[in-house]
Amino acid sequence: MTGTFAEYRELSITDPLRQGDVLEAVDPSRSKWQRHLLVLTADCDFAYDKHQGRVTCVPVLAATEYLLEMQVPRLREKSLAKILRTLRAELTGVGANISDERLRAWPCEVEPAKIITSIGLDGPAAETVGASLRAIRLLSQPTTSLGEAVDQIVTAQLVMSDARTRDAVIRQTVSQLRGPYSQPPGDTLFLSAIARNHDIGYFVYLRHLEQVWQPEIAIGPARRAVSYRRISRLQDRYIHSIVQRFALVFLSIGLPKEYEEMRDLHAELLEETFR
């Protein structure tokens, strides 16, 4: 990427660890949930050591990882729901009463052609049901990259209908994946870059928490063994936006009276233990 815009700023080794710092795992084989972390522990907790050495963080996922993990399943389920409606309409017409759960599992166990034969279908109905079963079978295959996942969803739609071109289906699918960039869910925020040479696009994900022992974080060159090194700090406006979103995600939710009664009972039992 080119240009002078960045959501982060670089730091010197004299800058203490603070909220909004971006950490990178020393071990590049760490999972996507631990590879890059954003510190959420408040500055006052650092200043007065209220965090007791435990640094609370949320993961920063590469955009492709986030889309594959959080958005592709939604698109896949949307496609499957549409296919199942088509399949249900055809099977109801011939008196076949099969649950949606079974319709999703069956083509993964048996070839679609054998299923059509066992049901006794022929003609246009057999063609429609066969296409639906092949699409379900395709969408049930695991994928390991965003490219594979998009190709899978696109191909499944084309199996169901030849009325649209592949390019048109790709454009429609990708347009749905673009949504979280401009209108992210309340539990995420997009960042174009998180440090120098880290500008492939990222999503901060707020529903997954990680804790790192502070002595395992290096804020500058270190000879001792560490698990993470600090690579940048977000600009204030992005830190504030993320903290605000985090608070909204975990706003207090009212709990039932029965819960409060049980909670008080456990507190009383604790007290009786030490009498």
pLDDT digits (tens, 9 = 90+) for 84-111: 998 888 887 777 778 889 889 999 999 9
- Return the SS3 of 217: strand
Q: Is residue 275 scored above 70 in pLDDT?
A: no
Q: Which residue reads 């790192």 in tokens?
A: 212
Residues 6 or more apart from 35 whose CB is under 8 A from it? 24, 25, 28, 59
Query: In the structure, what pLDDT confidence band is assigned to residue 224 with cuts at 50, 70 and 90?
Result: confident
Give the angle subtended at the CA of 56 by the CAs of 14 and 22, to the nearest 5°.
45
- Return the SS3 of 64: helix
Q: Is residue 121 scored above 60 in pLDDT?
A: yes
pLDDT digits (tens, 9 = 90+) for 17-53: 999 999 999 999 999 999 999 999 999 999 999 999 9
pLDDT digits (tens, 9 = 90+) for 47-74: 999 999 999 999 999 999 999 999 999 9
pLDDT of residue 3: 59
Ramachandran area for residue 3 (φ above 0: left; ψ -120 to 50: alpha; else beta):
left
pLDDT digits (tens, 9 = 90+) for 147-170: 999 999 999 999 987 778 999 999
Query: In the structure, what pLDDT confidence band is assigned to residue 2 with cuts at 50, 70 and 90?
Result: very low
What b/e string do you get for 21-31 counting C-beta neighbours within 10 Å, with b at 16 or more? bbbbbeeeeee
79, 59 Cβ separation under 8 angstroms: no
Residues 6 or more apart from 204 whose CB is under 8 A from it? 38, 58, 59, 60, 188, 189, 191, 242
Q: State how far Cα 270 lies from the chain centre.
A: 40
Q: Is residue 1 scored above 80 in pLDDT?
A: no
Average pLDDT over residues 211-230: 91
Query: In the structure, what pLDDT confidence band is assigned to residue 182 with cuts at 50, 70 and 90?
Result: confident
pLDDT of residue 252: 65
- Can you give the pTM of this predicted structure? 0.85
Residues 6 or more apart from 54 whose CB is under 8 A from it? 41, 211, 212, 213, 214
